[in-house]
Each structure stands twice: as C-alpha cells, then as structure tokens.
Chains A and B, each alone.
Chain A
Amino acid sequence: MKPAPFTYHRARSVSGAVGLLAELGDDAKVIAGGQSLVAMMNFRLARPEHLIDIARIPGLDAIEREDGAALRIGALVTHHAVETADLGPGFRLLPDAMRWIGHLPIRTRGTVGGSLAHADATAEWCLLAVLLDARIVAEGPAGRREIAAADFFQGVFTTALEPDELIVEVVFPRPAPRSALTEFAERKGDFAIVAAAVDLDAARIVLGGVGPVPLRVPRAEAALAAGAAPAEVGAVAAEEIDVRDEPGVSAHYRRGLTRTLVARACEEAQL
C-alpha cells in the first residue's frame, strides 16, 4: 500500500496554485490535509502525477464573522479548528457537527475546502453547505467566483469546480440557531449510512447517504414549514427519497433510518 510516484509542488499563493493546475491539467491533484486523498493514493486508487500542496498558502486558514452575520471559513481551516472555535450561538451547529467527522487525528489535518472538493455525499461539510445555503468561493485563472452550494455538488464525487479552480473560502450567509445534524453508522466515526441535517428557521432538510449528492427533500420541508411534528416530517422524508436495495442496506432500511434521523434532527434543533 505504497503510492505511485508523483512530483510534489508546493504552492505559495492561490494564483501560483491555480497556475500549476492550469499548466498540469488532469495529471495534477490538489492536496490540503490529504485525509481522503492520501488513503486513496496508498491504495493506488488515486494516482496523480503531480501533487500541488496548498497547505502553506497564507490567508486561507481564517474564520471570520462579518457584521451582517455571515461567516467566512477559509479553505484550509481544519475540522478541529472549527470544532474548537466559538462561532457564536447562531452557528453552534458547525462545531457540533464536527464530532461526526472521523476521529480527532483526522480532524486535526482534514480541511473544510478539501472536504467540499472531495464531495462525498455523506460528508458533513457537504450537508452543511447545502443546508445553510453556503457559497463556495473558488479562484481560477479568470479570477474568483462564488458557487451556490445548491449548484456545487453535481454527482458522485463530482463538483462544479473547473479543473483549474481552487476553493479558497466558504461563506455561510445566515446563522441557523435552530438547526441540527445527526447520523447513523454501526461504528462511531464511520461514514454515515444515512445523515440528516435540519434548519428549522429555513424549513430546510438535507440528507446524506440517499443519493449521489446531499439531497433536499422538498415535501418534507413543506411539512416542516407547515408545522408538522418531527415524526411526521421524518415519515414524509422517508417516503420522498428514491433509494434502491444495496448489499447490506435495503431501500426499506434506508427509508427507516431517514424517518428516524430526520425526526431526531428536528427534535434536536428545537433544543
């Protein structure tokens, strides 16, 4: 389980990284914390010829709370930095959600930007981004642009990022004082079989593990907006998703987990 050879590049600036990406094309891969990428490289499931290390780029590791209540998190901020940050009552969800991400030694290296770019459909940051209408700020050769989370996740491990774009920041535009994220896996720290995130004020529900990307469930959201009880909201969500039997997890079970977790997230969000 040793990775294939590659050339290592250390980027000193965003423009430098973007320049390398543009130059090296598909053979290059960005590494920040590397907590998913290096494991895949050790299995030789990923074998980039060039690795562009962005971890030393200055200015990407800040957490800022703007006056208008928006929260800006730099791409290189680690899960653990968020876990231990005081983001104010409106954003308590983010530190709370971090305890679902792997384990401490993964959270000390893994980054917000890396998690979004990797785009695992059960990853907490991906759910949170969709739940909270986050805007992903990416920089490419043509400059910066903001991508709405709703448009960012396009398929299994696929995002709206261009090959020569780099995530520099994620913006959470509004606080969510009554929100929660919960998951189920047999073993703590594992990727969830189903994950559910709820923002009561926005009447927003996002699910992980039920599709190729983090999914909203509009009918359940409508029920939530109409004041339905948590159990009922969960039941609607469970009906609404389109899932199939898979080895070890039937569609029926996935629906059941969805029903339970949505209801529990709704209850937790009220606390």
Chain B
Amino acid sequence: MAEIQLIELTVNGERHDLAVEPRRTLADVLRHDLGLTGTHVGCEHGICGACTVLVDGAPVRACLVFAAQVEDADIRTVESLAAPDGTLSDLQQEFSAHHGLQCGFCTPGFLMLAEGFLAERPDATKEEIREVVASNLCRCTGYQTIVEAVDACAARRRNA
C-alpha cells in the first residue's frame, strides 16, 4: 500500500486535516478530497491553466503542486469569490456581462488568474491584462471577451 501522509491545508479560510498519498496533486485534493469541484483539471502539465488557484495570493497551477507542498499556505479557489448569499463578485459579474464564458470549463481558472493579478496590479493596462490572460487556454471564446471582462473589472475597482 502506498504511503499516506497527514497534511493540513487552509482553503478559503477553512482548515482541513487530510490523510493522503503524497503524490496527490493540489488539484486532486481540492476536487476530490475536499469536494471543491469548481477548480477544474484540463491538462495536468501546467499549460491550460484550468486549475489555477491562489496560493498566498499568487495564481498557481494546482496540477503542478503537490498538496503536501502547500501546507501552511493560504489557498483560495473559485468557491471563495461569490458572497455567502451567492451574489457574484464584480469580476464574476463582468465575465457574465461581457460573455467571457461559454462552456464555463476554463472559467474558474481565468477568474483566479485575474483575481490574483489584479490584486497585485490594479492599474494594469489592457495590454498587460491580455498578456496575463494568455497564461490560460480557452477553447470557446477567442479570449477577447475575457480580456474585456478583466479590464472592465479593473476599471470598476479603480473607480470604486
């Protein structure tokens, strides 16, 4: 039987104690051990970005991190964005308003990518936003509306 390791994860402000194989990636632990299925898995080699989550505020590929590596870190997933009553965040609202999603599979990754990036660079230009949006793959939208949604959110926050 494979080795089991006890790990402690803090996800969306909640602490979890887990007994898992050390080879389990953060993406699998979030999805299948913690039931946070909003984070999606698209390639498991760090290219598509569907599994992007925030680790200590920075966007990270959850498929390229073992859960055991991020004990003590503050992990945030897409489930943390909306208010507890279900009200969507400004970023989520802009994605809908700009039709920045179609099938919705890549969307959580783009949301967390943008959330992390805008927190660090609230004054980002549209070109800088485009370059960061290029971190992840979307097969439905052609990206334009994702860039516009993130740009609109940035503007909205600046004007708030």
- Nearest B residue to A55 via CB reads B69
Which of these, B28, B45, B61, B136, contacts A109 with CB under 8 Å?
Answer: B61
* Residue numbers in B under 8 Å from A104 (CB-CB): 59, 113, 117, 132, 135
Cβ distance B101 to chain A, nearest Cβ, rounded Å: 19
Q: Is the CB of B44 within 8 A of A5?
A: no
| B65 engages A38 (CB within 8 Å) | yes
CA distance A84 to B128 in the complex (A): 14
Residues of B within 8 A of A5 (CB): 2-3, 21-23
**Which A39-98 residues have a C-beta within 8 angstroms of B?**
39, 41-43, 51, 53, 55, 80, 84
Distance (Å) between the CB of B77 and the closest chain A CB?
14
- Cα separation A45 to B130 with both chains bound (whole Å): 33
Tell me the smallest distance from the CB of B50 to a CB of chain A, in Å: 11
Q: A1-B44, A105-B113, A109-B60 are in contact. Are A7 and B68 (CB under 8 A)?
A: no
Say whether A35 faces chain B, with CB atoms less than 8 Å apart.
yes
Task: Give the chain A neighbours of B63 by CB distance below 8 A.
Answer: 38, 42
Tell me how far the C-beta of B52 lies from the nearest C-beta in chain A, rounded to whole angstroms.
6
Q: Closest residue of chain B to A84, judged by CB?
A: B120
Instruction: Bin chain A's interface residue count.
Output: 20 to 34
User: CB distance B135 to A53 under 8 Å?
Assistant: no
B49-76 contacts to A (CB < 8 Å): 49, 52, 55, 58-61, 63-66, 68-69
Q: Confirm or deny: A211 has a beta carbon within 8 angstroms of a beta carbon on chain B.
A: no
CB distance from A97 to the nearest CB of B (A): 15
CB distance from B115 to the nearest CB of A (A): 12
A238 to chain B, nearest CB (A): 30
Residue in contact with B25 in the complex, picked from A35, A38, A51, A103, CB distance below 8 Å? A38
Which B residues are CB-close (under 8 A) to A7?
3, 22
Is the beta-carbon distance between A8 and B134 smaller than 8 angstroms? no
Please indicate the chain B residues that have their CB under 8 angstroms from the CB of A42 in the complex. Answer: 25, 44-45, 63
* A183 vs chain B, min Cβ distance (A): 15
Complex interface: chain B residues within 8 A of A102 (CB): 46
List CB contacts (< 8 Å) of A90-127 with chain B: 99, 102-106, 108-109
Any chain B CB within 8 A of the CB of A227? no
**B5: Cβ under 8 A from any A Cβ:** yes
> Given A6-B23, A39-B45, A105-B59: A34 and B65 within 8 A (CB)?
yes
B116 cross-chain contacts in A, Cβ below 8 A: 108
Return chain A residues, CB-CB under 8 Å to B68: 8, 10, 53
Contact mask for chain B residues 17-40; partner A; CB cutoff 8 A; 1 contact, 0 none: 000011101001000000000000
Residue ranges of B at the interface with A (Cβ–Cβ < 8 Å): 2-3, 5, 21-23, 25, 28, 44-46, 49, 52, 55, 58-61, 63-66, 68-69, 113, 116-117, 120, 131-132, 134-136
27 of the cross-chain contacts (CB-CB < 8 Å) are A5-B21, A5-B22, A7-B22, A8-B66, A8-B68, A10-B68, A38-B66, A42-B63, A43-B45, A53-B68, A99-B131, A103-B49, A103-B135, A103-B136, A104-B113, A104-B132, A104-B135, A105-B52, A105-B58, A105-B59, A105-B60, A105-B61, A105-B113, A108-B59, A109-B58, A109-B61, A189-B134
Interface residues of A (CB under 8 A from B): 1-8, 10, 31, 34-35, 38-39, 41-43, 51, 53, 55, 80, 84, 99, 102-106, 108-109, 188-189
